[in-house]
Amino acid sequence: MDLSRVADVLIDKIKKDYRDDIALVVIMGSYVYKDTHSKSDLDLYFVPKTEGGRNLGMVFIIDGIGFDFWPISWERLEGIADHNERITSIITRKTSRLYMIRFLSAVIWQRLRMHTGN
């Protein structure tokens, strides 16, 4: 199964119908490391903008493969950037620049704090 195609379909649907509800979609897991096999799943999380967006989380199965799509807060995302959780992620290429900048700013800020000791 082409995991990137599944991600593209989901992200295109969000951009079309839920752009006001979801700020950022992030992919994580084996797909990030390009270490997939025939039964690899696709794990995606997102930062909701609205309460309706928060309710868009889901788990679904295609051809016997599970897919996870769940909401997280900006605070938790910043904690991930600070390595408080062992989650490695990539931002999807169809994210708005504003939210991509916010995510990358959190990562950069945490890296600076690590190197300066503040």
Q: Which pLDDT score, from 0 to 100, does residue 52 have?
A: 92
Q: Which pLDDT score, from 0 to 100, does residue 101 have?
A: 64
What is the tens place of the pLDDT at every residue in 73-98?
988 887 777 777 766 555 555 556 66
Q: Where are the alpha helices (DSSP H) in 18-96?
A: 30-33, 51-54, 74-81
- The domain of 18 spans 3-116
CATH number at residue 109: 3.30.460.10
What's the pTM?
0.65
Q: Which pLDDT score, from 0 to 100, does residue 48 have?
A: 93
Q: Where are the alpha helices (DSSP H) in the chain?
A: 3-17, 30-33, 51-54, 74-81, 97-116
For the chain, the distance separating the N- and C-terminal CA atoms, rounded to the nearest angstrom, is: 45
In the beta sheet, which residues pair with residue 59?
68
Residues of the chain with pLDDT under 50: none
- Please count the helices (runs of H) and the strands (runs of E) in the chain: 5, 5
**Total residue length of the chain:** 118
Q: How many domains does the chain have?
A: 1
